[in-house]
Amino acid sequence: MFTKTVRVAENQRVLWFRDGNLMGVLAPGKYNFWKRTRHLRFDSFNVEDGEAMLPNAQYLVREHGDVLSEYLDIRVLEQNQVALISVSKLVTRLALPGEVVAFWKNSVDTAIQVVEFTDDLAVPEAWVQAINRCGDAVALATLSKAILPVTVDQGFESLLMIDGDVDRTLTPGRYAFWKLGRDVKALAVDKRVQEIEINGQEILTRDRVSLRTNASLQYRITDAVQAIVQTPDVEGLAYRAVQFALRRTIGSLTLDELLADKTKLGEDVQSEVGDELAKAGIAVTMVGVKDFILPGEMKTILNQVVEAEKVAEANAIRRRDETQAVRALANTAKQLERNAMMARLKELETLEQVSASVDTLNVYNGLDGVMGQLVKLQPQGREE
């Protein structure tokens, strides 16, 4: 046999090449070619696919557009255009600038949506939803090359940077932006309350006592642009601000003043640090001084001072109680001296108390004998 037979089905179209040059498009039917003809190539396409993915499409359209246009609807994208390709109402891919988009005529339902990405940086919301619905059916490599997806969670903001400049601030939500022909990135900013520990600060007080203090800072970012773009290291800035404020404040107070009220120290430091960090877009919510750690010998001295103070307080309280007791006895004596009946009742009360504490009580000459100190007490079991 000196011929090669090519059969084209109803749902097929075939591009045939000789020596790498396009010779034509074969419609459904049967074709015979001489085998001796060298370097024949036949590229078969299924028209049900909708889009014709032509090899070396730009060259073919430029050199053989008149031949291809009989079978294809052809669209060449400009350098500032992108297109969303749909077949049977489902998105199949994203076409990039300069690409050739070709659909087989009289085939399945096809559509092309073209936008100029220089007009609006944001990808149309309808496009984002259509791409998400199709999932893996859309080429992810093309999407990652053309689109920057951004998701901002609750408690965060995101700064959209275009060629190194801040374009806008993104609140919580989902976004997508064109990154063709430009450097596009998103910087996440945590706007929740952050905490920094400032530990082991060795500081001298005004009366030259060396102590080590630990503090805690709570802050949050209020101005994302000022804090992230203008400040290289937010956490480092906040740490150093508290560190220096502690040194200035503690250095201006004596040890007794510091020990008297740690809360006041925290409030003073917070006021100073808050004014400084506000310029960097940072709000200070709390500065707390946890503790003071003194050297061993200073701790011993302070313990002795505290012990002496407590002993002095106890002695003062005891003397005050004794004075009050003596004053009460003196008042009682004055009352008894002025009132004979009250004195008699007091004597009977005393007799009752004495009688309750002995085993045997012998009384002579009646009650008058008892009150006249003629009472004889003896233990139980002995007779007078």
- The residue-averaged pLDDT of 20-27 equals 90
pLDDT reading at 76 higher than 90: yes
Look at residue 374 in the predicted model and tell me its pLDDT: 40
Q: Are 102 and 57 in contact (CB under 8 A)?
A: yes
Look at residue 380 in the predicted model and tell me its pLDDT: 47
pLDDT per position as a tens digit, 154-187:
999 999 999 888 889 999 998 889 888 889 999 9
Q: Give me the DSSP letters along 85-122.
A: EEETTEEEEEEPTT-EEEEETTSS-EEEEEEETTT-SB
Report residue 12's pLDDT band, with 50, 70 and 90 as the boundaries: very high
pLDDT reading at 367 higher than 80: no
The set of residues, in sequence order, having a beta carbon less than 8 Å from that of 354 and lying 6+ positions away, is none
Between 90 and 307, the more confident residue is 90
Q: Residues 20, 26, 29, CA angle at the centre, nearest 5°? A: 140
- The residue-averaged pLDDT of 280-298 equals 81
26-30, 262-266, 280-284: the lowest-pLDDT one = 262-266
Look at residue 92 in the predicted model and tell me its pLDDT: 84
Cα Rg for the chain, rounded, in angstroms?
50
Alpha-carbon dihedral of residues 222, 226, 227, 229, nearest 10 degrees? 140
Report residue 38's pLDDT band, with 50, 70 and 90 as the boundaries: low
Find, among 229, 99, 216, the residue nearest to 158 by Cα. Answer: 229
Look at residue 375 in the predicted model and tell me its pLDDT: 42
pLDDT reading at 373 higher than 60: no
And the tokens for 300? Answer: 């011993």
pLDDT reading at 70 higher than 80: yes
- The residue-averaged pLDDT of 316-340 equals 79
On average, the pLDDT of the chain sits at 82
Look at residue 1 in the predicted model and tell me its pLDDT: 53
- The residue-averaged pLDDT of 51-70 equals 90
pLDDT reading at 344 higher than 70: no
pLDDT over 90, % of the chain: 26
Look at residue 74 in the predicted model and tell me its pLDDT: 93
- Specify the pairing of strand 165-170 against strand 360-362: unpaired
Look at residue 36 in the predicted model and tell me its pLDDT: 67
Look at residue 319 in the predicted model and tell me its pLDDT: 82
Q: Are 165 and 108 in contact (CB under 8 A)?
A: no
pLDDT reading at 378 higher than 60: no
